[in-house]
Amino acid sequence: MKLKETLLNTSEVNLVSNDDLGDDHVATSSETPLRPDAFELDDKLKIELIAKHFKEIMQILGLDLTDDSLKGTPNRVAKMYVKEAFSGLNPKNKPRATLFENKFNYKEMIVEKDITFFSHCEHHFVPIYGKVHVAYISSGNVIGLSKINRIVQYYAKRPQVQERMTIQIADELQSVLKTNDVGVVVDANHMCVSSRGVADTNSKTGTAYFSGKFDDENVKKEFLNYINAK
């Protein structure tokens, strides 16, 4: 109740100054930073509170919320944040992995490439989007292909840092598949680079995670050659 009352009654938010960080690419942990009370509020109340505060932001910007085009925006943004863009924050939305016995005794790498993802930079809350490429070598089970996509989307649907997201996807696959033999490569566009600041629309950011057999240069090269093939 204390958290609810605080949020409902607060009309002024005091932010810790981070001017000394500027636009530096800062990540503190491979875990998404969440407070212990992050899920005390249900989704309905979160939407109500976010809509209220987003309405205040729009009013501060000088927008006329009586206009038919704008009056529904606060609620639309709030629903998008809770139900879509940041739905991966809530553990109840974590996908359940479907595993199948590797009856063919397939010992080579299994690759799923060009998985499209949309996320948001946690520094400016603007989009990150691109492709994730995943490979693993079975230790006895294989995972349903659509479940790999769902794992990627789950970790993308939260305020993110690309390096963290890469590690989170790899850690989840290792945990689910009970194997260390995992490779993950992420190629992404960052709107915080292209739509603001230096406004560079051509650059991309690449991150990678290799473990187990993928630390072997030949296995790593095979994976990279495959994902780079036309």
Residues above pLDDT 90, as percent of the chain: 77
Q: Are residues 80 and 108 in the same domain?
A: no
182-190 vs 99-101, strand pairing mode? unpaired
**What are the pLDDT digits (tens) for 173-214?**
999 999 999 999 999 998 877 666 666 666 788 999 999 999
Give the model's pLDDT for residue 29. Answer: 73
Question: Residue 202: its pLDDT value, please?
Answer: 66
Domain count, the chain: 2
Does one domain contain both 81 and 113?
A: no
C-alpha distances (whole Å) from 40 to each of 37, 54, 85, 179 are 5, 21, 19, 34
CATH of the domain at 29: 1.10.286.10
- Strand segments, DSSP code E, in the chain are 99-101, 110-121, 127-136, 141-143, 159-160, 182-190, 205-210
**Given this model, what pLDDT does residue 73 score?**
98
Identify whether residues 59 and 135 lie together within a single domain.
no
DSSP string, 145-164: HHHHHHHHHHHHSSEE-HHH
Cα 219 vs. chain centroid, distance in angstroms?
A: 27
pLDDT of residue 18: 47
Both 155 and 187 in one domain: the answer is yes
| Same domain, residue pair 69 and 15 | yes
Query: Do 75 and 107 reside in the same domain of the chain?
Result: no
Question: Which range marks the domain in which residue 50 is found?
Answer: 2-93
Q: What is the pTM of this model?
A: 0.86
Domain boundary among 52, 67, 93: 93
Q: How far apart are CA 100 and CA 141, in angstroms?
A: 5
pLDDT of amino acid 6? 44
Q: What is the CATH number of the domain that holds 181?
A: 3.30.1130.10
Catalytic residues: 121-124, 162, 190, 192
Q: Point out the residues of the chain with pLDDT beneath 70.
A: 1-28, 194-202
Q: Last residue of a domain, which of 53, 74, 93?
A: 93
